[in-house]
Structure 1
Amino acid sequence: MSPRPLAKINKIDPAELKMLKKRIDIAMVVIILSATLLLTRLWYLQIYRGDEYAKLSEINRIRIQEIAAPRGNILDRTGQPIITNRPRFNVVWNREDAPNPDAIIKDLAKILGEDISVLLDRIRAATENPRYMPTRLKEDIDWETLVAIENKHLSLPGVRIEVMPSRDYLYGDFASHLVGYLGEISRAELSEKHYVTYQSGDQVGKQGVEKIFERYLKGEKGRNYLEVDVHGFEQRQMQLQDPYPGNDLHLTLDIELQRTAEEAMAGKAGAVVVMEVNTGNLLVMSSSPPLHLQEFIGGISQTAWDKMLNDPLHPLLDKTIQGQYPPGSVFKIATALAAISEGIVTPDATYFCGGSLNFGNRRYGCWKKGGHGTVDFQRALIESCDVYFYSVGMRLGVDKIAKYANSLGLGKKTGIDLEHEKGGIIPSAAWKQQRYKEKWQDGETLSVAIGQGYVLTTPLQ
C-alpha cells in the first residue's frame, strides 16, 4: 500500500482570487485617505496655525483662585449682631509667576514697611506648599499701602492683593472669651480628619464658639477661573463660582446685660455669670480682663501675646469656666439641702449664734461679729449665719455634704459647649486620703459647710 500524503493542496478558485484582490484595493484606498486627512490636519495645526497655537500655549494658562466664604454672623438672643464681617486686604505672592522673589523683595519691603528678612522668612516658610498656592506676606493692609502696590503692579510680578472676609467686632472685646477668635490653621490641625477640606492659610476658629461651631460658621469657598499671561496678569475671567456664606449663630446672651456686667468689671479680675432660672439660658458670660480680639486678626504678635501671658490679672484665663474659687456662702444652699434631706434639722429647729463657735482648740467666727442670736433654718439662710451652718455641718459630716453638693452639679464639669472647662473640687474623706494621704479632720468639715476650705467651684457652677 502506498503512503498517504502529509497535506492536501486545494487550488484557489480564480473568482475568489479576484474578489480578494478587490477587497485589498479598497482597504488600501481607505488607509491612504485616512492618512491624507490626518496629515492634512497636522499640517493645518502645526504649519498653517502653528505659530498661533504655540504662542497661546506659551503665554497663556488657567489659574484657579479660591474665594474665602464669609463666616456666619454671631448674634445675641434677640438677633442683634455681635460679630459680622468686613473686607480685609492681604498682600500675597504667587511663586508660579515670580519664582525668584529677590527681584521684587526690596521694593515690596519698602512699601509694606517690613524688613526684607521678615518677608523672606515668610516665603521660605511656605516652600512646602504647592506652587500654585499664594504666600501671604502681609495681612490687613491699609488703603495707602493698597494704592501703592496697585500703582507699582507692573514692577511687582507675582504680587497681588487678596480680598478676604474678616471679623468685625461691633462691640470691641464684648464676650471675648465666649466668642473666641480666629487664626491661621496650623500644620497640626491640617493633619486632623475634621480639617480635611482645609488648606494652608485658611482661617479657623481657635477658641470659644468660633472653634466649637467652626463647621457651621465657615461656609463653602468659591472659585475664580482666570486666564493669565506668563507675567501673571489676568487676561479674562473664564468662570466664577461664588462662595456660600456660613450659617449665623444665635447665642443666648443678652447684649445689654452683658455690657452692663463688663462695664462693672472693667479693670478688675473676675467673672460674672447670669442664668435664666426657668430655661437655663446663659444671659451673661463675662470674664475679666477680656481678650483684645482685634490683636488676633491676621495673627497676634509675639509682643502682644507675651503681654497677655504675663498680665497679673490673667486675661487669657476664661474665669467663668476655668477659674476655681471657694464659693463661700452660696454653698450654704448645698449644706442646707443635705441637712433637710437627711433629717438633721427641721425648718423650726434653732441654733444660737453668739458670733463664733468653739470646736476643738479653735474658734470659728461668724461674719457678724456680734452674732445673730437665736436663728431658725429660714433666718439662717436669709442672713447667712455661719455659726448655724457650722453646727449643721458638724452633725452632717463631710461625706454627706459632698453627696448633696455633687447632686447639684458641683465638683464636676457642667458640659457647656466650651473647651477646657474645669470641674472644681468637692472634698470628702476619701478625696483627702487619695490626694494628700491624710485623714480627714472634723474641724475641716466646718469650713466646708460654709463653702470654704478645700471647696472650689467655677463661677458657672
Structure 2
Amino acid sequence: MEIDSIERNEKLSPVKLHMTQYLVAVVLVILGVGLWRLQVLGATGWRVLAEQNRIRKVPVLAPRGKILDREGRIIVDNYPSVTCYLLREQQKNLDADLPQIANGLHMTVDQIQAIIKHFQLAAKYQPIPLKQDITPDEQAFVEAHRNELPELETLDEQRRLYPRDGFAAHLIGYVGEVSENDLNQSRYAAYAPGDVVGKSGVEETYDEILRGVDGSRDMVVNSHGKEVGLMGQELAQPGQDLRLTIDLDIQMAAEKALEGKIGAIVAMDPHTGEILAMASRPTFDPNQFSVRLTKAYWQSIMENPDHPMMNKTIQAQLAPGSTFKVIMTLAGLQENVAQDMHVQCNGGATFYGHFFACDRHHGGVDIHNALPYSCDTFYYTLANKLGIDTIARYATSVGIGSKTGVDLPDEAAGVMPSEQWKLKTQHDKWYAGETISVGIGQGAIEATPLQLARALGGIASGGALQRPHVVFPTELTKDQLSAVQSTYPGSGEKTVPLTPENWQIITDDMAGVTGPIGTAAAAHLEGVDFAGKTGTAQVMSHTALAMSGRGHNTEPNAWFVGIAPRRNPDIVVAVLWEHGVWGNNSAKLAAQVVTAFVNKQRAKAGNLQKVAEKPAETPAGAGGTAPAAPAGQ
C-alpha cells in the first residue's frame, strides 16, 4: 500500500511534464538560432577575424612628390631610408624586451615607452614607428634577432632630401609627424598617428598633392610571427610632382646676397605675380625635421633671438621707412596736391609745435627730385596736406595692411593706421602730429617685404596688382586652385587708378633714385633700366637711442624695393636687411638679384653682354652715398 502511494507521488503531473518539454524545446531553439547566427550569418566576420590572426598588414608608404623649379630642376627629392617598426600583435611581454631593443637601436627605454604611449589609442594591428632612418648596424641587429624579437620589423621608405645649408627652407617648408594637436583639427581628419605631413611652406600648402596615397601588403605569418608568404597587396600611389614659379638661378643670387645677414629678399614678376625667389635669414635645416627632431637642435632654434623659423618675406612686420614715399607720391599726385608743391628743406620743419628732422639741407625740393633725394621735409609737408585717412586709403588700395593672398601659410597682414584703426585698437583719437611720421613710413605703419614688392611693382605696372604665388595655377585643377585661394585669402588681383601722367612721374622719379643724385646711386647698373626706392627705418626713437646707447640691434633697418625696367617691370625685388643701417646697402643686394635676372634673360635672347657685378655693400655703420642726397634713406 505504501509502495503504491510512493510511486504515485513520484510520477510527474501532465502539466509539469508539458512545461518541461516546452522548456527543453525553447532551449534547443535558442541554441539552434545561436549556432545558425554564428555559422551562417556571422561566417564572414569570423572568417575575417581568423584571417587577421594569420595575416599581417604591412604599410607601403607612398613617396612624396618632388618639388621642382620653374624649369623643371629638382629642388626637393627623396632618398631611400629604412624605418624600424614595433608590432603589437605578438603575444609577448614587450616590457621584458625593451632593454634589448633600446640597446640595439641606440635608444633609451624611456624613449621607446614614450613612443608606445603616443600610439596607445591606435589600432593594435597598426605598426608603431620606433626609429626612422636606422643605420646599417641597427638593421643588422633587427635581422639577427628575428626569432627572439619578432615584434620588430623594418620597412623601406622614401624620405625627404632638402637642399643643404637651409637653401630656400622657408619657401619649401619641411615635413614631420602629424601631432596630437593636428589630429584634433578638421583638415587632418583623414590622418592617423605616425603619418608624415607638411608642416610649413609649400610642403604644408600643397601637402594633399605631394603626399600621395599609401598602400599595403598582406603578409601571411606563422605562429611565431614570421612572414611565410604574400597574400595580396595594394600598390601605393606616389605623390604628384610640383613645379614652382621659383627660378633656381635667381634664388641662388638672393641666397648669396643675404649670406651672413639678417633679413629677407623676395623677387616677383609683377605681370603675373609669379615669385621668382624668396629667401629669409637666418635659416634652418629642414633635413633635421624629416627624421625625429632632436631636442638640442630644436632648442638652438627656439633660443635664437633672430627667429630662424620665421619667413621674414611674409611675416616680418616692420616700418617700411622711405620706401613708403612711393605710395605717398601716388596719393599726392592722384589727389592733385603734389604736382605744384615746392618745399624749402633746411634740415627739417616744425609741425604742431614739434621739429621733425631731415637728414640733409636739400634746399628747393619739388615732386621731381623729392623721391631721388628722399627728402623727409617734402613728405612731412605732403602728409600734413593729405591727412591720415587719405594716406590710408591709397596705402590700403595697394595692399598695405592686408594679406597679399600668397599661397604660403602664416602670412602677416601688417598695419596701416587710420583714425578708425586707432579708435578701434587703442580706444583713442588720432592726433594730427602722428600723420607727419607716417608720411615717411615711420610711426604705427608696418609692412612685409612681399607687401612692398607687390605694391611698388603694381604702381610701376600702371596700377595693376597681381596675387603673388609660388605654384603655377596651371599646375593645379580648378578645385585645387579654388581651395588654395580660399585657404589663403587676400586682396587678389586688382587695379588702382593711376593716370598715365602720374605713372610717368613716379617711375621716372624711381629711376632717379639709382641715378647720380639718388640715394641708391651706388647700386646703379650700367645698361639696365634699374629703378627703385631706398628706405632707412629707425627701430627706436632718438630719445630712446640716446638713453640706451648705440649697438648693432639699435641700428636702423635697411630697405630697398627695386624694379627693372622702370615702367611695366619684368621683375620687382624687395630687400629687408635688419640693422643694415642705410637703404643704399640693401639697394646693392637687390642689384645682385637684378643682375642675375638680366644676365639670364640676355643669355636666353642670345645677347652675351653681361651686366657688371656690383661691388660689395657698404659695411654696416658706414655711410657713403651720392652728393646732395640723404645717406641712403
Give the conservation status (yes or no) of the 8 Å contact 1:322–1:422. Answer: yes
Give the conservation status (yes or no) of the 8 Å contact 2:83–2:131. Answer: yes
Letter in 1 for 2:391: I
* Larger deviation, residues 355-364 vs 206-215: 355-364
Structure 1 residue ranges without an equivalent (≥5): 1-56
Superposition TM-score, scaled by structure 1 size: 0.82
Select 2:403's aligned residue among 409, 413, 432.
413
Deviations 1:342-371 (A, max 9, x none): 11121x54322222222233222223x2x2
User: Which residue is 2:232 aligned to?
Assistant: 239
Change (3 A) 1:345 1:170: closer
- Secondary structure of the residue that 2:166 maps to in structure 1? coil
- Secondary structure of the residue that 2:434 maps to in structure 1? helix
Give the conservation status (yes or no) of the 8 Å contact 1:60–1:229. Answer: no
| Number of equivalenced pairs | 402
CA distance in 1, matches of 2:327, 2:64: 43
Letter in 1 for 2:426: Y
Give the conservation status (yes or no) of the 8 Å contact 1:183–1:298. Answer: yes
* Larger deviation, residues 256-265 vs 382-391: 256-265
User: Which residue is 1:360 aligned to?
Assistant: 352
Deviations 1:402-455 (A, max 9, x none): 110011111111111122221111111222233223332222211111111111
Give the conservation status (yes or no) of the 8 Å contact 2:348–2:377. Answer: yes
* Larger deviation, residues 63-72 vs 122-131: 122-131
- Pairing 1:200–2:196 present: no
CA distance in 2, matches of 1:429, 1:72: 49
- Pairing 1:113–2:106 present: yes
Change (3 A) 1:145 1:77: same
Q: CA RMSD for the aligned pairs? A: 2.0
Deviation, structure 1 residue 187: 3.3
CA distance in 2, matches of 1:60, 1:117: 30
Letter in 2 for 1:422: A
Give the conservation status (yes or no) of the 8 Å contact 1:59–1:230. Answer: no
Select 2:308's aligned residue among 301, 315, 324.
315
Letter in 2 for 1:272: I
Letter in 2 for 1:130: A
- Secondary structure of the residue that 1:154 maps to in structure 2? coil
- The runs of at least 4 consecutive aligned structure 1 residues that moved more than 6 Å come to 57-60
Select 1:166's aligned residue among 132, 151, 159.
159
CA distance in 1, matches of 2:189, 2:448: 35
Deviations 1:242-268 (A, max 9, x none): 211111111111212222222332343
Deviation, structure 1 residue 106: 2.1
CA distance in 2, matches of 1:253, 1:59: 49
User: Which residue is 1:396 aligned to?
Assistant: 386
Larger radius of gyration: 1
Deviation, structure 1 residue 193: 4.3
Change (3 A) 1:450 1:159: same
Deviation, structure 1 residue 192: 4.2
- Secondary structure of the residue that 2:250 maps to in structure 1? helix
User: Which residue is 2:88 aligned to?
Assistant: 95
CA distance in 2, matches of 1:294, 1:79: 22
Give the conservation status (yes or no) of the 8 Å contact 1:158–1:231. Answer: no
User: Which residue is 1:11 aligned to?
Assistant: none
Deviations 1:126-179 (A, max 9, x none): 232211111121111122221232223222211111222110113442221221
Give the conservation status (yes or no) of the 8 Å contact 1:322–1:458. Answer: yes
User: Which residue is 2:438 aligned to?
Assistant: 448
CA distance in 2, matches of 1:445, 1:124: 58
Letter in 2 for 1:290: T
- Secondary structure of the residue that 1:155 maps to in structure 2? coil
CA distance in 2, matches of 1:130, 1:408: 53
- Secondary structure of the residue that 2:314 maps to in structure 1? coil
* Larger deviation, residues 230-239 vs 394-403: 230-239
Give the conservation status (yes or no) of the 8 Å contact 1:204–1:214. Answer: yes
Correspondence list, 1:49-448, <5 A:
61-346=54-339, 349-367=341-359, 369=360, 371-448=361-438
Change (3 A) 1:284 1:59: closer
Superposition TM-score, scaled by structure 2 size: 0.61
- Secondary structure of the residue that 1:91 maps to in structure 2? strand
CA distance in 1, matches of 2:51, 2:314: 61
* Larger deviation, residues 402-411 vs 137-146: 137-146
Structure 2 residue ranges without an equivalent (≥5): 1-49, 452-633
* Larger deviation, residues 110-119 vs 58-67: 58-67
Amino-acid identity (%): 39
